[in-house]
Chains A and B, each alone.
Chain A
């Protein structure tokens, strides 16, 4: 009780995201805005919360449904503050643009969703192409959106070959290096990334944020 009393609204928002509290996040966000907290400050708390969630999942303290619900609270809460955010954020404060998807022939999209959410939470602009994504679609969208990074997920050894094709196509188009590639999924390894010439590998959604930040030449945001 006492502790609750002391807790600031931003801390409560952080907890709501960590605990996947679908009931209270709306009230908490509007309270925070009423109290004069900027949308950016609220987003920082929420992003910090998603980083905690990612870590708990990586440690095995959280199971998948808990992560999915936290991600849902994050996404819904983000929709509320988005109009305010857009007013205050200049294009330069976006960390980078990422086009992400699951490679052709593969429908395992849960891991990719977590990666996309955590990247969004960490300040990247994310274009999620979904699952079973064609080689050309990765490259075309990345060029069209002026993306910095293409993120690819594969859960099957029979589909991971698609990643190499994307790297090759980037090369053919003279875009390799300008658009970086980052890959992940349970059969993927650092070794494989090196073999196909991908720029980076991340073993979890939490690592994906670190790796993407590194590709952009920035440190990882840790506030609190």
Chain B
């Protein structure tokens, strides 16, 4: 019998590839908590004076969602993808009940503007001060027992927000100098944001949300050239601050055409790799489970959104069988969680993990 741990402890142990008391859950709930407390999107994301981000309301939402669902790790704030672009003069839309979307990326039309730009000061610029405020409140209220992750985009993904994904891909292929400048600026900002969030009370790990850093968007060559070297830099920076990094690039990495990239990602020094949809988790655990913590596994489109609860439970049980033995596994949905995701379905993922993921595991039969 393993002694009972706090959420934070079990998340730390699992990320370190150890065996905790029970498999932890990280529900990377970026706008999902807004539904738990019934806030509108603009009320939080630009609900303070002069369109500032409302840190108090963000924290209320994050804390309420954690209390209601009981997941082991949360993100320290409500998060949207427009923050950096906005800080450099871009425009983001905030639908009342929807997910914010970048309308005009800061460097969409004039990438040369980047030469005049300096790295962001997160305590002053754009909507970031409210985000940091949220981390502080969440940390003060639940940080002694719950894991709080720094959630920030990976280098290419973050650069895509400022430039536009398609334009950035063209830059990489045709104007590599422009691509490099934007991605370097993004990397500097990511490092700065990590430091400030940790000072604000993030206590678990850095999560690099990287939908555009993987083979869903890039060729393996572009991933090697523009993403992985910057991941190395970010990992070194986070390690100096005492924090491990989880990388979440999108792509089918258990496909033999791409699997070498996981080895190369592990070589950057990451502690965890979250696989997105359509990956083979059994294979992932066998191939990489001894070198990196495996995260992910519950598909959003086919299980969490449509349900029913029994289907989500079955998927959790299957993933536990494939990945949990010997520790080093953290249950997550296949990507981030957002508004309009049924709350009982997310709760089902958390509950099933905590019910069936108790070590020593008894999953057969």
Residue numbers of A with Cβ under 8 A of B are 20, 22, 60, 63-66, 68-69, 72, 105-107, 109-110, 113, 132, 156-158, 186-187
Q: Is the CB of A65 within 8 A of B301?
A: no
Contact of A68 among B99, B169, B220, B340 (CB under 8 A): B169
Interface size class of B (residues with CB under 8 A): 20 to 34
**B residues 153-198 touching A (CB-CB < 8 Å):** 165-166, 169-170, 172-174
Q: Is the CB of B102 within 8 A of A110?
A: no
The reply on B222 being an interface residue by CB < 8 A is yes
Q: Is the CB of B301 within 8 A of A68?
A: no
Q: How far is the CA of A63 from the CA of B93 in the complex (A)?
A: 30
Contact of B99 among A63, A64, A110, A158 (CB under 8 A): A158
- Residues of chain B with a CB closer than 8 A to A186's CB: 301
Q: Is the CB of B165 within 8 A of A187?
A: no
The reply on B218 being an interface residue by CB < 8 A is yes
**B residues 200-239 touching A (CB-CB < 8 Å):** 215-220, 222
- Residues of chain A with a CB closer than 8 A to B215's CB: 63
Contact of B165 among A66, A106, A110, A157 (CB under 8 A): A110
- Residues of chain A with a CB closer than 8 A to B255's CB: 60
Chain A nearest CB from B341 CB (Å) reads: 8
25 contacts between A and B (CB under 8 A): A20-B173, A60-B255, A63-B219, A64-B169, A64-B217, A64-B218, A65-B169, A65-B172, A65-B217, A68-B166, A68-B169, A105-B95, A105-B99, A106-B101, A107-B102, A110-B165, A110-B217, A113-B166, A132-B101, A132-B103, A156-B99, A157-B300, A158-B98, A158-B338, A158-B339
Chain B nearest CB from A25 CB (Å) reads: 13
Q: How far is the CA of A110 from the CA of B170 in the complex (A)?
A: 12
Q: How far is the CA of A72 from the CA of B165 in the complex (A)?
A: 15
- Extra contacts, 12 of them, besides A64-B169, A157-B305 (Cβ < 8 A), are A63-B215, A64-B218, A65-B169, A65-B218, A65-B219, A68-B166, A68-B170, A68-B173, A69-B174, A105-B95, A110-B166, A158-B339
Chain A nearest CB from B213 CB (Å) reads: 13
Q: How far is the CA of A106 from the CA of B101 in the complex (A)?
A: 8
- Residues of chain B with a CB closer than 8 A to A158's CB: 98-99, 338-340
Q: How far is the CA of A6 from the CA of B255 in the complex (A)?
A: 38
Q: Is the CB of B219 within 8 A of A66?
A: yes
**B residues 304-340 touching A (CB-CB < 8 Å):** 305, 338-340
Chain B nearest CB from A49 CB (Å) reads: 18
Chain A nearest CB from B204 CB (Å) reads: 28
Q: Is the CB of A72 within 8 A of B170?
A: yes
Contact of A65 among B98, B173, B257, B340 (CB under 8 A): B173
Q: Is the CB of A65 within 8 A of B99?
A: no
Q: How far is the CA of A60 from the CA of B99 in the complex (A)?
A: 30
- Residues of chain B with a CB closer than 8 A to A110's CB: 165-166, 217
Can you name the residue of chain B whose Cβ is closest to the Cβ of A158? B340
Q: How far is the CA of A20 from the CA of B255 in the complex (A)?
A: 25
Q: How far is the CA of A65 from the CA of B172 in the complex (A)?
A: 9
Q: How far is the CA of A156 from the CA of B220 in the complex (A)?
A: 26
